[in-house]
Amino acid sequence: MMIADDTVRTLPLEIYGAISGYRFSYASAVGVILLLLSVSTFFVVERSLGYFGTLK
């Protein structure tokens, strides 16, 4: 939005565009992709830094 031109479409902007165009099934699918990317990134960072088992 602020740092990119009009050719870059991030996943949140894609979801917003789909919802505003009443394409709810497409927005839901993109939301699941965004959720999976976020959760997998979280687990990769936690495993690589070694903090995954220290909170027990």
More confident residue, 39 or 5: 39
| Spatial separation of the C-alpha atoms in residues 9 and 6, rounded to whole Å | 8
Kindly list the distances between the CA atom of residue 31 and the CA atoms of 48, 50, 52, in Å, as whole numbers in the listed order.
26, 29, 26
Domain extent listing, the chain: 1-56
Residue 1's contacts (CB-CB under 8 Å, 6 or more residues apart) are 13
Over residues 32-50, the pLDDT tens digits come to: 999 999 999 998 988 888 7
| Spatial separation of the C-alpha atoms in residues 55 and 32, rounded to whole Å | 27
